[in-house]
Amino acid sequence: MSTSSHTAADAARCPIDHAALTAQRSPTGCPVSRSAAEFDPFSDGYQQDPPEYVRWAREQEPVFYSPQLGYWVVTRYDDIKAVFRDNITFSPSIALEKITPTGDEANAVLAQYGYAMNRTLVNEDEPAHMARRRVLMEPFTPEALKHHEPLVRRVTREYIDRFIDDGRADLVDQMLWEVPLTIALHFLGVPEEDMDQLRQYSIAHTVNTWGRPRPEEQVKVAHAVGNFWQLAGKILDKMRQDPSGPGWMKYGIRKQAEHPDVVTDSYLHSMMMAGIVAAHETTANATANALKLLLQHPSAWRELCEDRSLIPSAVEECLRHNGSVAAWRRLATRDVQVGGIDIPAGSKLLIVMASANHDERRFADADLFDIRRDDASEHLTFGYGAHQCMGKNLARMELQIFIDEFARRLPHMRLAEQTFSYVPNTSFRGPEHLWVEWDPAANPERVQPDLHEARQPVRIGEPSRHAIARPVVVDSLTALATDTLRIRLRSADGQPLPRWTPGAHIDVECGSTGLSRQYSLCGDPAQASVYEIAVLRDPASRGGSAWLHEQLRVGERLKIRGPRNHFRFDESARQVILLAGGIGITPIRAMARRAAALGLDYQVHYCGRSRGSMAYLAEMQA
């Protein structure tokens, strides 16, 4: 709650249930709600499904103080994007700070290893951060990343070869942890030695930084982290002897000679350790999450296997719907407001990107898993702004190749019966095991020896929105008024269409004209089987509305994109006045229906050149 004074009207609209407040207080002196007091990111509920766990907050209390954690928690898309955008007010300096302070014994263990994790690109403030980022960015360009594609493809195939005839596999243990680690080491220029040990070190680093190890576990974790730190130093020392050749860390050593004040010894040692975790663990978890999600939606998996050109957009939707980075952290450097809530200087923020990615205010039908969603790449899984993940396109490449190989070689793969478990922490998440089953006798390569040649091209970067289209079928065509045609569309596969909200529109590809036109949805948002648009024939049409009026036939297939909503109806308004002129009635019709359903005090004012030209006139009068 804000410490600002409230009028009686404000209090009446306050989203907080004042009867459910606890005796605990936030740093601003405001009482804490019971839900906020019970928030525990180490609980199984958060680990299993972070967006669902904080749904109450996203809807009722989007910024709240957690007494258990000692952090302000931010859950809505626009608020989190604003925090990321202002990296001066919201410092990244605590991003790698241990979220659970460790005891004296564990700290002593870390000290004996000389552990001195310092600034990396993840937790560096300006102006040092951007100067360093610019110097070290070249290996992350699309041109440089292309060189890694053959290795990713080869290693992926080799690992699938090991179990493809078994009929059952734990994809995490048998592939999805080791392959991203191999790629990470290759990208960094680190020798592929002691991979099992590095896996344990990586998990220990995650638990040490973002987890809540019990007191009896802290010493064991500290030893692993200390050994990880020393191993990183030894690898770095070996690289210094010969920094030539490929690898981001070797590139950094060479750049140190040119920019010693920017690329420091302390940075290189810290980044060696953090880089192994960042390049490995996030991708391993993201791939396990993506395959789990696809197999939980058999129709989407089947469609993807039949049309692998959908893989880039499916990757973005997997990252949005169930990404591997659930939350990140920031430090308020001054008194500031987030989502209208007063945040004092020095406050720590947990920004839950997994929640932002399910915010209905930003993503239509946000909980729906839709591999044709054309705005999925707007997700915040990689962060946003100056500190957006540098390795995001390497991760995208790996995900595309992994999914492409499974879609070609094991399209009949399915999830085995199992219970999913996660390493308890605030930020990184992916199932510890992912058991799948299939019938080896049905493996496509047994009858298609050339299957390996039919690989799907990899796209470096996020997919173009114009490349993502949804097939629909024309269900009916009806003349509504002079030169106005009502078009009803249903999905081509008979599945429900994504839900939409009043004010949303779709883009319609107008046959072979090459034109794409936007039309407001004007039907009933509750009717998931059909979309309705009304198209006015423009006398000056360049082919869009003319083609729809003259060429379109019932039963014809069209391609659409969306829905998207840039004209959102404010359902919190106490009084609504809706104004429509001519064909502008289309979004207003849906808003009026929604206002009536909510029991709002509303009026519609509708005008046109003549009654005969006014679509839906009788309905609006009624």
How many Cβ atoms from other residues are within 10 Å of residue 516's Cβ?
15
pLDDT band per the 50, 70, 90 thresholds, residue 11: very low
pLDDT, tens digit, for every residue of 267-314? 899 888 888 877 788 899 999 999 999 999 999 999 999 999 999 999
Is residue 20 in a domain? no
* One domain for residues 272 and 416: yes
Give the end of a domain, one of 424, 453, 482: 453
Residue-wise pLDDT for 438-465, tens only, equals: 999 999 988 887 777 777 888 888 887 7
Q: Give domain status of residue 95, yes or no.
A: no
CA dist., res. 407 & res. 315, Å (int) = 13
Looking at the predicted structure, is the pLDDT value of residue 516 above 50?
Answer: yes
476 in the same domain as 394: no
Q: For all residues of the chain together, what is the average pLDDT? A: 90
Q: Number of folded domains in the chain?
A: 3
Handedness of CA 571, 573, 574, 575 (dihedral sign): negative
Per the CB < 8 A criterion, the answer to whether 177 and 444 are in contact is: no
Q: What is the CATH number of the domain that holds 490?
A: 2.40.30.10
SS3 category, 55: helix
> Residue 140 falls within a domain, yes or no?
yes
If DSSP states are collapsed to H, E and C, what string results for 172-209? HHHHHCHHHHHHHHHHHCCCCCCHHHHHHHHHHHHHHH
pLDDT of 7 reads: 44
| Beta-bridge mates of residue 337 | 342
Angle at 236 between CA 156 and CA 154, to 5 degrees: 10
* Contact yes or no for 516/506 (Cβ under 8 A): no
Round to whole Å and give the CA distance between 465 and 365: 18
Quick: pLDDT tens for 239-273: 999 999 889 999 999 999 999 999 998 889 988 88
Instruction: Give the pLDDT mean for 487-498.
Output: 91
Domain that residue 608 falls in? 575-621
Distance CA 604, CA 236 (A): 70
Identify the residue with better confidence: 17 or 529.
529
- With the C-alpha atoms ordered 421, 423, 426, 431, is the resulting torsion angle positive or negative? negative
- Assess whether 534 and 594 both reside in one domain: no
Q: Residue 433's closest CA among 170, 612, 618? A: 170
Q: Both 123 and 237 in a single domain?
A: yes
Residues 448, 469: one domain?
Answer: no
Give mean pLDDT, residues 7-28.
Answer: 69
C-alpha distances in angstroms, 141 versus 54, 136, 148, 460, 461? 36, 10, 12, 9, 10
pLDDT at residue 394 in the model: 94
* Same domain for 229 and 141: yes
Q: Which residues of 359-379 are buried (b: 16+ CB within 10 A; e: fewer)?
A: bbebbbbbeebbbbbbbbbbb
- pLDDT tens, position by position, 335-376: 999 999 999 999 999 999 999 999 999 998 999 999 999 899
Q: What is the pLDDT of residue 191?
A: 75
Task: Say yes or no to pLDDT of 57 above 80.
Answer: yes
pLDDT band at 6 (very low <50, low <70, confident <90, very high): very low
Query: What pTM value is reported for the model?
Result: 0.88
pLDDT at position 2:
42
Higher confidence at residue 39 or residue 233? 39
- Confidence at residue 16, expressed as pLDDT on a 0 to 100 scale: 63
Claim to verify: residue 505 and residue 371 sit in the same structural domain: no
Q: How confident is the model at residue 5 (pLDDT cuts 50, 70, 90)?
A: very low
Residues 6+ apart with CB under 8 A from 272: 188, 190, 232, 233, 235, 236, 249
Q: How much of the chain exceeds pLDDT 70, in percent? A: 96
- CA dist., res. 328 & res. 383, Å (int): 8
Q: How crowded is residue 308: how many other Cβ atoms within 10 Å of its Cβ?
A: 19
- In this predicted model, which residue has the larger pLDDT, 205 or 282? 282
For residue 41, pLDDT over 80 is answered with yes
Q: What is the mean pLDDT of residues 496-525?
A: 90
Lowest model confidence (mean pLDDT) among 9-13, 14-18, 33-37, 458-462 = 9-13
Whether residue 440 is preceded by a cis peptide bond, meaning omega within 30 degrees of 0, is: no
Reduced to 3 states (helix: H, G, I; strand: E, B; else coil), residue 246 is coil
Distance of alpha carbon 382 from alpha carbon 353, whole angstroms: 9
Mean pLDDT for 21-28 is 90
Q: How far is it, in rounded angstroms, from Cα 275 to Cα 97? A: 16
In a domain, 250, yes or no: yes
Residue 226 scores a pLDDT above 70: yes
pLDDT for res 4? 41
37 located within any domain: no
| Same domain? 318 vs 195 | yes
Structure confidence by residue, pLDDT tens digits, 180-202: 988 988 898 887 766 677 777 87
Residues 580 and 545 in one domain: no
**In degrees rounded to 5, what are phi and psi of residue 576?**
-130, 130
The more confidently predicted of residues 513 and 619 is 619
Q: How far is CA 382 from the centre of its chain?
A: 7
DSSP-derived letter for residue 447 is T
Confidence of residue 13 (pLDDT cuts 50, 70, 90): low
Residue 592 covered by a domain: yes
The phi-psi region of residue 266 (left if phi > 0; otherwise alpha if psi is between -120 and 50; otherwise beta) is alpha
Model confidence band, residue 15 (pLDDT cutoffs 50, 70, 90): low
**258 and 178 together in one domain:** yes
In 433-530, beta strands by DSSP E: 435-437, 470-481, 484-491, 504-509, 516-520
Looking at the fold, whether 442 and 539 belong to one and the same domain comes out as no
Q: Are 471 and 530 part of one and the same domain?
A: yes
Please tell me the predicted confidence (pLDDT) of residue 8: 43
Q: What percent of the chain has pLDDT over 90?
A: 68
Walk across the sheet containing 484-491 and list its strands: 516-520, 504-509, 557-565, 470-481, 484-491, 531-536
Task: Decide if pLDDT at 537 tops 80.
Answer: yes
Q: What is the pLDDT, as a whole number, of residue 211?
A: 83
Please name the residue that has the structure tokens 């991708």.
283
* Domain containing residue 331: CATH number: 1.10.630.10
Instruction: Note the pLDDT of residue 435.
Output: 98
